[in-house]
Amino acid sequence: MVNSPTVEKFIDDFRAITKRQLRSRTRSQSHIDSVVHREFPEWFKREVNPIMINPVLDAKLEERDFFLCGTSIWFSKAMVQASPFSSLEQATSFARDLWFNKLLIQSWLNVFSAHLHIDQAAKFAPGPIMLELEQFGRKYCRKFGFVFITSTDKKLPHQILEEVKVR
């Protein structure tokens, strides 16, 4: 549900809190994104008032809400059929079971194809950044056996380069 419009405001709030708490030398966008990705679910469960969560969980969510999370029509339809959820934990547990135990391979491919690949970012980068993106893209592929995929298509080429260097 991290990419759901329902929780987007909370993610922005948590990102701002995280940025303020980090020392200036660790405030790179990729580092902040990493912290948000890792720590947001626990913060959300702990800090967000259950009165605010329950109406969201009690509502029958729409396919587009889930499609934004996973870009898989199959996943979206299954989540809609299973909702409403009694808690965030139930929704998360159901989604994990769906992804890891019941998901068709084509759904995984759909999700990966919806993300920006490093070679796509290199096409729009200035010369020196383009060369580095291509170089680190090849290194990443050799190391992990697949191309580097970033979680958003809104990043600039230099931010993607910073992210791939960290990994």
pLDDT single digits (tens) 78-119: 888 888 877 778 888 888 888 888 877 777 777 666 665 666
Its domain, for residue 132, covers: 115-166
Q: 6-15, 43-52, 76-85, 119-128: which range is least confident on average?
A: 43-52
- 132 belongs to a structural domain: yes
Looking at the structure, tell me whether residues 141 and 108 fall in a common domain. no
Looking at the structure, tell me whether residues 107 and 122 fall in a common domain. no
**Contacts (Cβ under 8 Å, ≥6 apart) of 150:** 115, 116, 118, 121, 160, 163
0.85 cut: is pTM over it?
no
Looking at the structure, tell me whether residues 73 and 134 fall in a common domain. no
pLDDT higher at 35 or 53: 35
pLDDT value at position 1?
Answer: 47
pLDDT higher at 2 or 77: 77
